[in-house]
Amino acid sequence: MTTTAPSSSSIFGTNLVAMATPMHSSGEVDRNGVDHLLTHLASNGCDGVVVAGTTGEAPTLTSHEISALITSARAHSNHALRVIAGVGTNDTAAGTDMARSAAAAGADALLISAPHYSRPTQAGIATHIVDIAEAGGLPVMVYDVPARTGVAIEQATLIELSRHPAIGAVKDAKGDLYEAMTVMASTDLAYYCGIDELALPYLCCGATGLVSVTGNVVAARYARMIDAVRTGDLDLANAIQRSLLPLTDAVMRTTQGAIMAKAALVRIGVLPNAAVRRPLLESSATELRRLDEALCGTGIDQESRSVGVPVRLA
């Protein structure tokens, strides 16, 4: 009997959000806030969440907190959302432990970046990713984000990694569209845009989907954009992209996306506060004014802005 391998979209989803980690002003993870945010995302077209990624402030989360977040996402979504666990680290042994813990907590897949700070060779990067992938025993999305790690994953390395049965996707935050198209043409790797500013160009070049930061607020808009590209309605897709430019600029180019995403979630009534952990600092008054101006242009219903009420976007 012949079986068909599951598609990348069924494994990872298409409209993924790099989920913020709600926190109390004391710095503790806000469990109710996590549930509110998951409800908001699932209600607005998101089909997958990256837990404990950059936007989730992974460097300041404990292993226990990460496992608890994964378990909450798994239980709360009742499998409506794919749960991709960030296990990025510069210590391969620690990464393998993180991968095992993520699998035990119920993650559907892993997000593995190149080791940060250490800046190993390309062979070292590949070995690091494969070791962690094999420890976790889950599908893997490779995260190529040289601005964070200090080293890019080169085209030849991505092609080599594609031969591993567990490695099925790339979250590309490098921004080299030509390289992305070349790797897609040479492998079966599914590409996910990891740069909100370039969401539409990536989709038009063959990306399977997005892993967005602004999706914490406007996941429904991204869902419409993805559908528009799939159906060939590029005029609509471009109109959606243009409508999101002010918010994308405010969230992604004002300060850290993790900071501004939380501020935006407070502004639309999903979270009660925008607390972040040091060394991050909450948005300044100037940054919040810029964010408010951008949010006014997204068409969010002002009457929906009350804590705990999921906001549906047009």
Residue positions annotated with a catalytic role: 143, 171
Contact 113, 77 (CB under 8 A): no
Yes or no: say if 15 and 222 are a contact pair by the CB < 8 Å rule: yes
Q: How many C-alpha atoms does 226 have within 13 Å on its Cβ side?
A: 23
Q: What's the CA gap between 111 and 102, in Å, rounded?
A: 11
User: Hunting for tokens 């085209």 — which residue is that?
Assistant: 155
Residue 16 in 3-state DSSP?
A: strand
Q: What DSSP string describes 152-185?
A: ---HHHHHHHTTSTTEEEEEE-S--HHHHHHHHH
| Amino acid residing at 163 | R
Left (φ > 0), alpha (ψ -120 to 50) or beta: where does 27 sit? left
Phi first, then psi: give them for residue 288, nearest 5 degrees: -70, -35
Query: Dihedrals φ, ψ of 282, to 5°?
Result: -65, 160
